[in-house]
């Protein structure tokens, strides 16, 4: 009888465990099936980014048999060939159009001829990138200013582009897009600035002598991270608990496999996608990570369908970290499955119950509505959408969402960036009003820019209050050229909003020297030189192949302004930058920068990059790995104050970083020249308590458990 009594609970436990496992595995297999099916259902008629399928569809279209219609149709096909990655075929097609015009001695509208030459020029330029930078990739490829081994070995494509841009500028001397691309064409050929005609020269495309900053080295190829992809997300964190920061990257095409790269220390990175059980998990314009089940392991949420509009009914994926180097797609079993076009989400514990919730910003237009979602964690592995009941059922073309505590009341507020509509700031009421959210956008003064994209909360000036950065997206390469020339332009600058500590913000963009047309997509922040102030990197560009401009790095000048160190640090990559992650990948005490490169069109692929920090800053730091108890396990939302011996404080909030990139949750905090740390205060939002640490040595990692223990990493 006793044996039977003992046997029954064991059977119950085994059955429960097996049943749970079966549900999750079933969810995983089903999601892979759904993703495969969705990949085959894209509509090339309306989906501008399914370029190979769209090209085939265009080639099969019946059009009016008139010479003007024929030429127009052929030019459209030529453009789609470029978008699909068939650059030589595109060049041939454009030349056929020009040959037909010459042979028939006809005179199409000047606007048509300009458009053809414009597209032919950029196709030549892209062909040069493919034959030199993609095929012969090296550490200097496509990094502006182009020099050394980055200069094209095969120069004919650049020469062809130069000839066409001269022709275009002769008729359009005030077109700064042409002027910009002409300078770049000379640069990749190795003839900038000496052979650029004075009339068209943009002389500022080299490092200035007024700023001293070391060069970072692009090492992705040497460490096994030069993965070729389209636009996608980047997450850096220690996914397997071995103390080394790994990398997960996505690529937004529905046929594009997500990849997981394990950090092997001195041996570089190893692609563990297959063994991590991720084969078949495809697509993902962005990813965000958090610990949804509070087991201490970082899980990943993959976002799909962004920009696809009416063709964007693609599901997101919740990837559970199993803690053994593998992942399981639990989207269905977690009851978080939905099909809305989106590229942005953010984890945060808005009700401080110790479990992470998830806000998803969906993309709506006047023609179709996809309401944003707020999934409250049920604490049992499932979620419930409470967006409507809590007042955040937001519509609009949402491009970024972030949680942050604007008034230091320990309750997370929500900022939403929208393309084409005012941005939104929702204040969390806390428990007094059942955590309802109130729109305070106008009162707070944070609604611009109207055409905005990535955003984040950060304390850029170290005053202990979260500020807001949000970038504009209404720009062109011409605006960038005018900015470098010091000319007035109509491009949209980002906004840097300083917290006034009273629920309002002040726009300090001009004061901080941030009034530049960045055309930012992916971006993130981190302290490059360990001086205690957060710097940031902006990945730039839009799908148009003519949108060629350097990704930009800005160095924080003690919380007062930002210096552009793009050229000095060799960060000025010309390919379209997307997911950005700051992390100490090589464990040498400073932050490196990983970026997913590549655009939206299927032909706009490029290798991802890793900029290695050269060090030599002679600044100190302290590392903190926090474990929540009443607060969520990864301690998202916890605030840190590092008090130096001088009395100066440095502040950090635990977050994954900025838009389209994820930083490790563990915090490496620069303390500048300080040799002694007086105290460290950690505010835990779950317990609403402050834990004070003393006798903290610099340049050491500490593991801190909420209101319990601290362990020094010897």
* CA gap 109, 113 in Å, rounded: 7
* CA gap 218, 571 in Å, rounded: 9
Handedness of CA 679, 681, 682, 687 (dihedral sign): positive
- Contact criterion met (CB below 8 Å) for 410 and 393: no
Tens-digit pLDDT profile for residues 232-253: 999 999 999 999 999 999 999 9
pLDDT for residue 21: 56
pLDDT for residue 61: 87
- Contact criterion met (CB below 8 Å) for 596 and 233: yes
- The label of the residue with tokens 């020297």 reads 513
Structure pTM?
0.95
* CA gap 455, 659 in Å, rounded: 6
Helix ranges (DSSP H) in 65-197: 67-84, 87-104, 110-129, 156-171, 176-188
pLDDT for residue 6: 39
Handedness of CA 109, 112, 115, 121 (dihedral sign): negative
Query: H-helix or E-strand containing 143?
Result: strand 143-144
pLDDT for residue 713: 87
C-alpha 219: how far from its chain's center?
20
Question: Which stretches of the chain drop beneath a pLDDT of 50?
Answer: 1-20
> 639 phi and psi, to 5 degrees?
-105, 140
- The label of the residue with tokens 């015009």 reads 101
pLDDT for residue 660: 85
- The strand pairing partners of 217, in sequence order, are 612
- The strand pairing partners of 452, in sequence order, are 472
Contacts for 461 with CB less than 8 Å, ≥ 6 apart:
467, 498, 533, 559, 560
- Contact criterion met (CB below 8 Å) for 205 and 145: yes
CA distances to 60, 135, 296, 405, 680 from 691, rounded to whole Å, are 68, 54, 20, 19, 8
- The label of the residue with tokens 């005012």 reads 422
CA distances to 94, 311, 470, 495, 518 from 515, rounded to whole Å, are 38, 35, 12, 8, 9
* CA gap 116, 123 in Å, rounded: 10
Tens-digit pLDDT profile for residues 211-237: 999 999 999 999 999 999 999 999 999
Beta-carbon count within 10 A of 77 CB: 18
Q: Of 426, 419, 336, which is closest to residue 373 (Cα–Cα)? A: 336
Handedness of CA 414, 415, 417, 420 (dihedral sign): positive
Rounded to the nearest integer, the mean pLDDT of the chain is 94
Beta-carbon count within 10 A of 171 CB: 12
* CA gap 114, 691 in Å, rounded: 66
- Contact criterion met (CB below 8 Å) for 249 and 233: yes
Q: Which two tokens stand for residue 549?
A: 């401009």
pLDDT for residue 714: 67
């Amino acid at each position: 009888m006793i044996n039977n009594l003992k046997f029954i609970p064991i059977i119950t436990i085994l059955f429960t465990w097996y049943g749970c496992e079966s549900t999750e595995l079933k969810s995983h297999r089903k999601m892979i099936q759904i993703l495969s099916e969705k990949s085959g259902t894209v509509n090339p008629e309306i989906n501008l980014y399914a370029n190979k399928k769209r090209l085939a569809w265009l080639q099969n279209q019946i059009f009016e048999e008139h010479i003007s219609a024929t030429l127009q149709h052929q030019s459209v096909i030529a453009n789609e060939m470029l978008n699909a990655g068939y650059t030589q075929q595109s060049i041939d097609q454009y030349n056929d159009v020009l040959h037909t015009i010459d042979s028939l001695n006809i005179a199409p509208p000047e606007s048509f001829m300009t458009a053809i030459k414009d597209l032919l020029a950029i196709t030549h330029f892209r062909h040069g990138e493919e034959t030199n930078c993609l095929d012969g990739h090296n550490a200097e490829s496509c990094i502006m200013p182009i020099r050394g081994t980055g200069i094209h070995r095969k120069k004919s494509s650049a020469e062809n582009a130069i000839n066409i841009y001269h022709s275009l500028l002769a008729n359009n001397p005030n077109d700064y897009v042409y002027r910009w691309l002409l300078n770049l064409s000379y640069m990749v050929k190795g003839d900038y600035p000496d052979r650029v005609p004075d009339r068209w020269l943009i002389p500022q495309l080299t490092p200035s002598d007024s700023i001293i900053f070391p060069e970072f080295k692009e090492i992705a190829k040497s460490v096994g991270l030069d993965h070729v992809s389209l636009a996608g997300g980047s997450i850096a964190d220690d996914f397997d608990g071995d103390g080394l920061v790994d990398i997960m990257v996505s690529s937004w095409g529905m046929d594009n496999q997500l990849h997981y790269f394990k950090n092997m220390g001195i041996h570089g990175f190893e692609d563990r996608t297959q063994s991590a059980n991720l084969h078949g998990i495809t697509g993902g314009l962005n990813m965000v990570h958090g610990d949804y089940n509070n087991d201490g392991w970082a899980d990943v949420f993959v976002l799909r369908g962004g920009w696809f509009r009416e063709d964007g009914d693609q599901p997101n994926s919740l990837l559970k970290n199993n803690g053994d180097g593998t992942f399981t797609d639990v989207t269905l079993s977690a009851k978080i499955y939905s099909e809305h076009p989106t590229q942005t989400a953010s984890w945060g514990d808005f009700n401080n119950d110790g479990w992470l919730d998830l806000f998803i910003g969906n993309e709506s237009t006047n023609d179709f509505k996809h309401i944003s979602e707020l999934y409250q964690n049920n604490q049992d592995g499932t979620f419930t959408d409470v967006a409507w009941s809590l007042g955040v059922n937001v519509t609009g073309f949402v491009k970024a969402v972030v949680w942050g505590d604007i008034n230091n009341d320990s309750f997370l507020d929500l900022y939403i960036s929208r393309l084409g509509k005012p941005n939104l700031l929702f204040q969390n009421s806390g428990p007094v009003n059942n955590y309802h959210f109130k729109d305070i956008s106008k009162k707070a003064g944070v609604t611009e820019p109207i055409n905005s994209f990535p955003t984040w909360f950060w304390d850029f000036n170290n005053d202990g209050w979260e500020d807001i950065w949000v970038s504009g997206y209404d720009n062109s390469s011409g605006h960038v050229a005018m900015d470098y020339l010091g000319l007035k332009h109509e491009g949209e600058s980002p906004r840097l909003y300083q917290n006034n500590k009273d629920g309002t913000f002040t726009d300090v963009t001009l004061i901080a020297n941030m009034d530049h047309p960045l055309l930012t997509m992916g971006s993130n922040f981190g302290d490059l030189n360990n001086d205690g102030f957060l710097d940031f990197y902006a990945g730039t560009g839009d799908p148009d192949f003519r949108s060629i401009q350097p990704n930009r790095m800005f160095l924080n000048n003690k919380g007062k302004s930002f210096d552009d160190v793009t050229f000095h640090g060799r960060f000025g990559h010309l390919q379209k930058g997307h997911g950005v992650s700051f992390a100490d990948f090589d464990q040498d005490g400073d932050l490196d920068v990983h970026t997913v490169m590549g655009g939206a069109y299927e032909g706009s692929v490029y290798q991802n990059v890793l900029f290695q920090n050269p060090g030599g800053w002679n600044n100190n730091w302290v590392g903190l790995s926090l474990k929540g108890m009443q607060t969520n396990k990864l301690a998202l939302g916890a605030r840190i104050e590092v008090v130096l011996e001088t009395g100066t404080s440095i502040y950090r909030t635990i977050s994954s970083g900025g838009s389209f990139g994820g930083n490790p949750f563990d915090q490496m905090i620069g303390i500048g020249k300080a040799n002694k740390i007086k105290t460290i205060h950690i505010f835990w939002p779950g317990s609403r308590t402050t834990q004070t640490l003393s006798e903290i040595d610099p340049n050491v990692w500490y593991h801190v458990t909420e209101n319990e223990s601290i362990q020094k990493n010897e």
